[in-house]
Amino acid sequence: MGGTHSRTLTIETGVLCNNRCVFCYQKALRTVRGFPQLVPGDEVRARIRWGAENGYDELSLTGGEPTVRPDFLDLVRFAREQGMRRVAITTNGWRLARPEVFVAAAEAGLTSMGVSVHGATAEQHDALTGHEGSWLRALQTIRNALATRGTSRIVRVNTFTVVNRLNHGRLVDLADVLRNLGVRLMVLQPTILSKSNFEDAAAVALDLPDLVAAIRAVALRGIERGFRVKLFNMPPCLFRDVLAGVEIDHYERATWKEHDDGAGAFAEEPGYVRLDACAGCALTRICPGLHVTLLPQEDLAAHMEDCIAAFSAGDRHRVWVAGTDLLTPEGLGRVVRKARLGGFEEVTLATGGSHRGGRRALEAAVAAGVSEVVLVHHARDPGSGDRILCHAGNDRFLARTAADLAEVVAGRDVRAGVLVNPDQAGLDFLLSDGLRSLAGVPPALRLRTPWREGGPSWEIGMVARFLAEVTRLPFRPAETVFHVPWPTPLEAAVQLPAAAVLALGAARFDLVSAVLPTALLAPANSVVNWSGPCLGHDRTDRWTGGLPVPALKSRAVRARPVTREALQAAVAAQAQQHTPPGGPPPGPPGARPAPGGPPRPTPARRP
């Protein structure tokens, strides 16, 4: 342990793919008009050249699906010419199952591949990938790679499996299928939610206890049968008792993504939180912790309840609760009830339209006593760290949620609201067909303060022009309100009076309602800030009026630190196994290695 780190450059070559996996975190990006499906070849080559010049000696190409690129082989060849000693890809195996494509890739210089296999049977795998025949093609690609053992152009192979509700019950069966083929390293990763895959992936994501149990069972089988499990987006402390079945070397390697600033694998990764076990863990510098979308509901709800308890000690009586996307309907109801019991007279739920549970989440919030549900609009923002908001905004999420909201609040003592910027993008959204369903429950039109949003480019006449167009909306607003949480002295003295003059009495100002400071609050009452760093650190920012924002930590996840002694014991146990970690396993029965170049892959067959 503690040897020289190999430097691996990871480049995403685009989001285009010939599968349609239910859980794919890039899924919605493929439907965004104008979103580049493939990174231009010149740009990929420039990134490879930069990596070679800055000491990276290994390259990993990911997607989407890298092999759908017309210049895929050229990029592999170029990387080897630049001095990359290893070139690996993550692939679904569809194209590389063809003998001529696989041979061409090996000749171009491909040295490693991770093949995605998500089911123990063709029926299970194909249902998850949305592509009939993809299981047989993936397994054939694995056979193609295994048959290179003993040749001058070995292509090492491992597998990738996303563990979810539809396959976790047969995960050990899948491991047996792969082991019988000859695979000795299987990467297991959880379903990670993003704004791009939220609608479908949330339905198949596993709770953490079930996830750990399924992966642990495969690690145990690996100890018995001589293969390893590699954890991806999962901390090894959750598998401390089966470390002998876990790929340890992975945690001593450093991987830099192409866009990293140099801190690389040792920097805090966005979207992760720390466990109590992290403090004394031998791997704490190279394991980021647990991804926020995997945290138990108990931790998410308890964090927000703690924030409510600290916040309600003040003299404010109206609170906006935002960043609740990851809460289940039950968790959301619990948080709203806590705010009510905390003494807040009015509790407003701010949502970007991607709540876990969809309509049931809105119903739970209403049943718990929420006063108003506000749809928070985000126009396309090139500066956003979230690619959906960067390239498309959240109009699609809100259009669906608006219809649910209209039905949920109809006939009840609960208000609806819409929060937008008072600019052209906000007006275009308000005029869209997606909000026509709100005509029966006229919402309050809530406006962000434009000087906060627009900065120096804000035009003073923009508010007046916006308000003049409000009469064209498909619904008549119950009222028009400028929402100004945490007004500063400058705003109170200069900007608010100027806005009041421009409004000419058409809008009032809400200077009392404040936004609840939580670690999951993104700027401007956003949807949950998954792409932001520092979830695990106390912080203070201007969006919460300078109030401290407590760190998000896990109290429900129980784990013991991985000690150096435990690592040494695992390494010793692995040394007794005959197959080296990640090394080329024996070829399948009947495979004849060619002595000179890449072999002719065997035809597809069921294992």
140 pLDDT higher than 70? yes
Tokens for 576, please give them. Answer: 């007794």
Q: Which residues contact 136 (CB under 8 A, 6 or more apart)?
A: 97, 122, 604, 606
Q: Is the pLDDT of residue 525 over 60?
A: no
Pairing outcome for strands 185-190 and 156-163 = parallel
Distance separating alpha carbons of residues 213 and 211, to the nearest angstrom: 5
Task: Indicate whether this model's pTM tops 0.85.
Answer: yes
Percent of the chain with pLDDT over 90: 49
pLDDT of residue 179: 97
List, for residues 224-236, the tens digit of each pLDDT value: 999 999 999 899 9
Q: Which has the higher per-residue pLDDT, 62 or 455?
A: 62
**CA 56 → CA 11, 74, 87, 522, distances in Å?**
12, 19, 11, 34
72-81 helix and 41-53 helix, angle to the nearest 10 degrees: 20
Residues 6+ positions from 147 with CB-CB distance below 8 Å: 587, 588, 591, 592, 593, 599, 601, 602
* Distance of alpha carbon 210 from alpha carbon 201, whole angstroms: 16
Single-letter amino acid code for the residue at 544 = T
Question: Taking the CA atoms of the chain, what radius of gyration do you get in angstroms?
Answer: 27
Please check the confidence at residue 322 and state whether its pLDDT lies above 90: no
In the prediction, which pLDDT does 409 show? 94
d(CA 163, CA 210): 10
How far is 530 from 518, CA to CA, in rounded Å? 13
Q: Quick check: 473 and 430 in contact, CB under 8 A?
A: yes
What average pLDDT does the segment 330-339 reach? 96
**All domains in the chain, ordered by first residue:** 7-294+559-575 (3.20.20.70), 297-549 (3.20.20)
The average pLDDT across 205-229 equals 96
Lowest mean pLDDT among 107-111, 181-185, 289-293: 289-293
Q: How far apart are CA 305 and CA 550, in angstroms?
A: 12
Least confident of 348-352, 416-420, 513-517: 513-517
**Do 449 and 503 touch, CB atoms closer than 8 A?**
no
Best CA proximity match to 405, nearest among 435, 368, 362: 362
- Token pair 């970690």 is at which residue? 581
Residue 541: pLDDT band (50, 70, 90) is: low
Structure confidence at residue 470 as a pLDDT band (50, 70, 90): confident
Q: How many CA atoms lie within 13 A of 133 on its CB side?
A: 5
Task: Provide CB contacts within 8 A for 292, sequence distance 6+.
Answer: 271, 272, 273, 326, 520, 530, 535, 552
Instruction: Indicate the pLDDT class of residue 450, thresholds 50, 70 and 90.
Output: confident
Q: How confident is the model at residue 46 (pLDDT cuts 50, 70, 90)?
A: very high
Identify the DSSP state of 14. B
